Amino acid sequence: MALPASRQKQIIKDWALLGPVYVNRVRFSLAAFYIVAVAGSYQTSTTLQLISYSVGITAMFIYGGVQRYLFGKGKLNKFFPRIFLILDITVLFAVTASGLFSGKDSAADLIKSPTLYVLYYFYITYSSFLFSRKTLLICTYYAALCLVGLLGISYSLGVEFKEALGVQSMKGTVAISNELFKILFLISFGYLAGTVLNLLNRMKEEAETKTKESERQRISSENRNIVLKSVGEMLAGSLNVINQVVHNFNTQVASQAQSLREMTDFMASFSDSIQNSVENIKKQDDQVADANQNSDSLKANLADVSESFQNLSFQMNEFRVLGDSLSVTVSDLDLRLKSVSEAQKQVGEVNQIMSEIADRTNLLALNASIEAARAGEHGRGFAVVASEVGKLADNSNENATKIKTIIQKANRFIQEGVELALQSREKTEALQKGYSDLNSLISHLNDRIEVQKKTNLEMLQSLGQIGEFSRRIAGESKLLANDKNEMLDVVTKMDISNFEIVNNAKIIQENIIKLEKQAANLAED
């Protein structure tokens, strides 16, 4: 059974990607073979050979493990597998070169050993797993170069290169023609393998091209089948919807027929309603006219109220101005009473000074009387003066006491006047605030009256429009009453057309059922 095209494409793709994996498997197999060879020749090998074999095998396992790790992480590119192939050939060269140092005879036998050349052929063969002719030729020439290097090392160690019969059986000698033939045959093998690899790559490319074309055709075929199936399903769904619509349409048409019959009955009652509407509209027109007259009276009353509020607002403004003047006058009176109070304080201070002067004068008169009594007859006239001065001092003291009493009463009256002025100013300010609030209220009422006037005007206009509409409706109602018979004829014709539509809809529904069956068959195929 043939694999699907997508599976074949995946296999071809895996061959190119898994080339390094197959190379790595062969590498690990060779490393295991080297381990067996070293174990078998352990007693006959030199220390240098054992060390070189151990280092080479370890190196193969190390970079082989690195390649496997990179492949597992998806980070292995084309560069590393090619470098690791060169390292494989290098390890073989190094291990072989270390064996040449065992002696001239051993070196000649190692050069003539077919195993050495088989290993190089083996490396060249599995380098083709990377599907790169360039890499294969690089490995071929590098292997040939390593063989030339081994011949050079052998020659430097004393191996003789001769051309004679039986050279191959001689110790320490090598036939140069045989070695050159081996190298040339190795290079030819590399080119032959490269040619085969090119042929395989072309076959692979053709297979990929055919696989892509086959996959494209398969996808196109599947898409067409999907499209046809979806078209069938959509067609079946659409027909189902159309069938449902037609069914609903039939139902609606049947109900419409019933509605038309009901409409015929309704038209008769509607005609009577129109006549009643005409009479009601006439009454409404009369009521609108009465409302217009009442609105005119309301408009005049609002205008009178607005004018009264304007006059009141003007008078309140005058009262507010008078109140402001009164407040200023009271403030001036308060300041002047305070000034009089200060003057009274100064008069009291002067009166106090006069009282003190009178006391001192009285004391001076008493001292003068005492001195006049001492003087006897000579001081009699001075005693009279002293007596008069004492009386004058007593009068001054008495007058000072009266003035003090008067000043105290005056100060009390002034203080009461100041308090009354302060109360008058506070009341005046409260009155001013009341005037301001009242004025704001009057202004607000005036604004509301203006709004009401505007609303009343709009209402009057609306009433006029309502009256106009009423008259138009009355005229249209009369025309509608005249067209009643024509409407009944139209309803009858609609009933007949409705019956024909129902019959046609039944025929359409039958055809839709047939199309639904065909669409279902198409969707199943």
| Range(s) within the chain of domains with CATH label 1.10.287.950 | 306-467
Task: Tell me how far CA of residue 210 lies from CA of 242, 252, 287, in angstroms.
Answer: 46, 61, 97
Instruction: Quickly count: other Cβ atoms within 10 Å of residue 177's Cβ.
Output: 12
Q: What distance in Å separates the CA atoms of residue 251 and residue 522, rounded to the nearest whole number?
A: 31
Per-residue H/E/C for 305-350? HHHHHHHHHHHHHHHHHHHHHHHHHHHHHHHHHHHHHHHHHHHHHH
Which SS3 state, helix, strand or coil, does residue 173 take?
strand
Structure tokens at 273: 């309603």
| Angle (deg, nearest 10), helices 114-127 and 133-156 | 160
- Per DSSP, what are the bridge partners of residue 173? 160
Looking at residue 461, its pLDDT comes to 72
DSSP string, 435-469: HHHHHHHHHHHHHHHHHHHHHHHHHHHHHHHHHHH
161-209 residue pLDDT tens: 877 777 667 787 888 888 888 889 889 988 988 888 888 778 877 877 8
Helices (H) and strands (E) counted in the chain, each on its own, are 10, 2
Structure tokens at 406: 């008067």
Structure tokens at 55: 């280092």
Query: Which residue in 246, 304, 215 sits closest to 8, CA to CA?
Result: 215
**Position 474: which residue type?**
A
Query: Which residue in 251, 265, 263 sits closest to 501, CA to CA?
Result: 251
Residue 103, sorted as left (phi over 0), alpha (psi -120 to 50) or beta, turns out to be: left
User: Where are the extended beta strands (E) located within 76-122?
Assistant: none
The size of the chain, in residues, is 525
CB 461 within 8 A of CB 304: no
Looking at residue 142, its pLDDT comes to 93
Angle, alpha carbons 134-139-142 (nearest 5°): 125
**Position 8: which residue type?**
Q
Looking at residue 141, its pLDDT comes to 93
Looking at residue 267, its pLDDT comes to 59
Phi and psi, residue 175, nearest 5°:
-80, 115
Q: What distance in Å separates the CA atoms of residue 129 and residue 78, rounded to the nearest whole number?
A: 12
Spans of the chain, pLDDT less than 50 = 1-13
CB 168 within 8 A of CB 175: yes
CB 89 within 8 A of CB 81: no
Structure tokens at 217: 């055709």
**Position 163: which residue type?**
E
DSSP string, 386-408: HHHHHHHHHHHHHHHHHHHHHHH
Instruction: Quickly count: other Cβ atoms within 10 Å of residue 112's Cβ.
Output: 19
The sign of the CA dihedral 112, 115, 117, 120 is: negative
306-467 CATH? 1.10.287.950
Structure tokens at 330: 């009271």
CB 316 within 8 A of CB 438: yes
Q: What distance in Å separates the CA atoms of residue 168 and residue 261, rounded to the nearest whole number?
A: 127
Q: Can you give the pTM of this predicted structure? A: 0.41
Instruction: Quickly count: other Cβ atoms within 10 Å of residue 328's Cβ.
Output: 12
Structure tokens at 233: 């399903």
DSSP state of 159: -
Structure tokens at 362: 């009285």
Q: What distance in Å separates the CA atoms of residue 66 and residue 71, rounded to the nearest whole number?
A: 9
146-159 residue pLDDT tens: 989 988 888 888 88
